[in-house]
Structure 1
Amino acid sequence: MSSTPQSVASASANASKELQSSLLSQPKSVWAVFFACIIAFMGLGLVDPILPAIAEQLHASHSQVTLLFTSYNAVMAVAMLITGMISSRLGVKWTLLSGIVIIAIFSALGGFSNGIWSLVGLRGGWGLGNALFVATALAAIVSLSNSGTAKAIILYEAAIGLGISVGPLLGGWLGAMSWRGPFLGVAALMVVAFIGLIVLMPTSKKEQTGQVKTSLIDPFRALKHRSLLVFGIAAALYNFGFFTLLAYAPFVMGLDEHGLGFVFLGWGILLAITSVFMAPKLQQKFGTIKSMCAMLVMFGILLFVMGTWTSTQSVIIICVIAAGALLGNNNTLITTAVMNAAPVQRSTASAAYSFLRFIGGAIAPYTAGKLSEIYNPSLPFIVGGGFVIISVLFILINSKHINHVDDVESSH
């Protein structure tokens, strides 16, 4: 029986429609975690527009204020090592809820803090909550999704992008009233996320991520897989540039809270759009490793441009917004690669990778602040760009250990 051109075209259109709808046809539990992720990541962007205001009102230096990111990332890096052990005992839902409660408590306490050092300490507690939430949320979405690893990660990255893009706008608005506003705003949002998970995520359903009990040494065992170790170290190097941009750029833009909010809104929108729509196409056309290296090289160059024209406000603003596109693509590509890198549980792979990744995020902010105080405002961007380029060289040198990732993804 021969097919008419119309019937072939109709079948092709239906197949395309089914492919697009599969991303949106998820269980209720996936959407519950997705919603909570948006709110959790709004917390990161909420604080960004008020960094200069905190420095001024708490009489703190730039390097002291960047410690808000350092303590957050350092605690998160170490706490990532225990997330698998906790989630395999408490279950996914209660681990996520515990993380949300911890974030709410420490962000609320931060809103009532009166000194930079107490604020730095409380941000560390916030990092503990975020570690429990972030590692478990990624593993939960991947495991509970019915559309495969790649599409599940796109959903996760979309939630991050939406949260990061809306957060600065809300943070700028609340921060214009008081620097305490965004901290209290995060606490209020966490209450909403808590209610959302309690109502929408069923407890009766057995989640794959909570079935096998893991131990403290499992993430270290996972790093024996060279592929996972390579991606983790590359992410630590690249995150040096990422958090230099995030924690230090607000100090050189010369904008108020509203202005910073709009700049990082643009950054977050591009991050969200590219992570969902562009990254999968790049991966399909050029492969994960090549696409990742291209994005990182462009990001490194962009940081060098920021280091060269640091005193030109328009250049810094354009570069920060443009960085969102490069980071959105790279985040999706590297997260997808990590999930397929080694034959270990996804929650364990996520914990091991995140441990290394956030070490870079912990060192970079304080280093950037100190370099600007000791030398000049341009050097942090130059150093950050250098670390990003080193991450590319590291990936290329170790390409034989990670090339299998493209084979795994093409078979899905």
Structure 2
Amino acid sequence: MTTSTSKPIKSPASPSISSIQQKEIFFKQPRAVWAVFFACVIAFMGLGLVDPILPAIAKNLEASPSEVTLLFTSYNAVMAIAMLVTGAISSRIGIKRTLLAGIMIIALFSALSGFSNGIWKLVLLRGGWGLGNALFVATALSAIVSLSKSGTAQAVILYEAAIGLGISVGPLLGGELGSISWRGPFLGVASLMVIAFVGLVQWMPKSNMQSSTRSKTSLLDPFRAMTHRSLVVFGLAACLYNFGFFTLLAYAPFVMNLDEHGLGYVFLGWGILLAVTSVFMAPKLQQKFGTIKSIRVMLFLFGLVLLAMGIWTSIHWVVIAAVIGAGALLGNNNTLITTAVMNAAPVERSTASAAYSFLRFIGAAVAPFLAGKLAEWFNPHVPFIVGAGFVMAAVLFIGLNQKHLKHVDYVGSAH
């Protein structure tokens, strides 16, 4: 037991040596981790590639904004349901085969989307894309955490870095391809998935063909995991938070009055801030203020950003600046809450990820379509104001349940 009166002898060199050692451990990962990291970058490029072409899809397929936002709704709804079976699948066919299956499904449905001629067909194909993404995303997170040698917190940072890198580069490429044709980004995703497939086949060792878990995961395990209140709190908070996140992602392109190139650059800036803060700033916030307090502050600030977007929706530069700035808040929050979930309950990490993802993607499925409909029923200001309300509700919900989440800060400090 330590006391505040015992003060170690200060050495100017100690902090720098510790920092260097931590960086060496962080970057000195098994080749399998870097294989999954590379595949994650390519996979999350797919999300950013599509975002700049949402208005173009509406124009070319003669669809309303609310119909186009269904591309996110079908994608996230299928992901939410599929997340419940990812653990059972990966524990039977192995991590590597599950990752490869997810990549193949993404490639197939994104290619078919590129040849689609109707909005409703495109919506259905995006649902198939969501199935592939569920298999890949849930398994990729548990794979990186399980295979990493640097601890849970550092592994989550690596995972979030891959997401941020993919999301930041994707819009730039999507804007360029989308300026040629709205079909370009879909076909681009398919091509990138083929590259990721080849990379994973070659770089991930055969020894990881089998699941890292000793026993087969039951289909009921994610539901059993939801008996742990801390996990449910994070899942429902993320569900509420995703109303704001996907309102920004799916509806903001319709009010910025930019072409594919412009939207690509805006979401490039958003993604860069998301990537940088998720890797460099989130760990510092966690160490200085604690995980739960940092999450609440980031969500509160994001709620204020959405509120500003709702008030000044017609001022394009305000919306553009708000979207880019929100990237910093979202990068911090994503890393903080993902780290918290991995330490929230005494269950397998893949099971925790599946249960959490199911809950959070419910919000992600409803939010895009709701945002489009709110704009049609009322005006373009309302989606952002409602999104801000949901995010503030997440802040309040975490605060009311804080006594059930205290152990997360203690566990997180050990990594």
**TM-score with structure 2 length normalisation?**
0.96
1:340 aligns with 2:351: no
Q: Contact 2:94–2:211 (CA<8 Å) still a contact in 1?
A: no
Structure 2: how far apart are the matches of 1:333 and 1:306? 24
2:322 aligns with: 319
Structure 1: how far apart are the matches of 2:317 and 2:39? 35
Q: Contact 1:139–1:209 (CA<8 Å) still a contact in 2?
A: no
Give the 3-state SS of the residue equivalent to 1:52 in structure 2. helix
Q: Contact 2:94–2:208 (CA<8 Å) still a contact in 1?
A: no
Q: Contact 2:32–2:147 (CA<8 Å) still a contact in 1?
A: yes
RMSD between aligned alpha carbons? 1.2
2:4 aligns with: none
1:102 aligns with 2:102: no
Q: Contact 1:87–1:210 (CA<8 Å) still a contact in 2?
A: no
2:33 aligns with: 30
**Displacement, 1:206?**
7.1
**Displacement, 1:208?**
6.0
**Displacement, 1:14?**
3.0
1:87 aligns with 2:90: yes
**Displacement, 1:13?**
3.4
Structure 1: how far apart are the matches of 2:14 and 2:406? 35
Structure 1: how far apart are the matches of 2:210 and 2:288? 34
Q: Count matched residues.
A: 406
Q: Contact 2:96–2:208 (CA<8 Å) still a contact in 1?
A: no
**Displacement, 1:240?**
0.5
2:250 aligns with: 247
1:51 aligns with: 54
Q: Contact 1:307–1:382 (CA<8 Å) still a contact in 2?
A: yes
**Displacement, 1:297?**
0.3
Q: Contact 1:144–1:207 (CA<8 Å) still a contact in 2?
A: no
2:5 aligns with: none
Structure 2: how far apart are the matches of 1:411 and 1:23? 16
Counterpart selection for 1:280 from 266, 280, 283: 283
2:361 aligns with: 358
- Residues 1:85 and 1:208: Cα distance change in structure 2 (over 3 Å): closer
Q: Contact 1:144–1:208 (CA<8 Å) still a contact in 2?
A: no
1:186 aligns with: 189
Q: Contact 1:209–1:347 (CA<8 Å) still a contact in 2?
A: no
- Residues 1:205 and 1:50: Cα distance change in structure 2 (over 3 Å): closer
Give the 3-state SS of the residue equivalent to 1:311 in structure 2. coil
2:7 aligns with: none
Residue by residue, what CA displacement relative to the aligned partner does 1:360-388 show, whole Å, maximum 9, x if unpaired?
A: 00000000000001100000000000000
Structure 2: how far apart are the matches of 1:115 and 1:133? 27
1:4 aligns with: none
Code of the residue aligned with 1:69 in structure 2: it is F
Counterpart selection for 1:400 from 395, 400, 403: 403
2:169 aligns with: 166
Q: List gaps (5 residues or longer) in structure 2.
A: 1-9
- Residues 1:207 and 1:331: Cα distance change in structure 2 (over 3 Å): farther
Structure 2: how far apart are the matches of 1:90 and 1:411? 33
Q: How does 1:96-245 map to 2 (within 5 A)?
A: 96-205=99-208, 209-245=212-248
Code of the residue aligned with 2:118 in structure 1: it is G
Q: How does 1:360-375 map to 2 (within 5 A)?
A: 360-375=363-378
Code of the residue aligned with 2:77 in structure 1: it is A
Identity %: 73
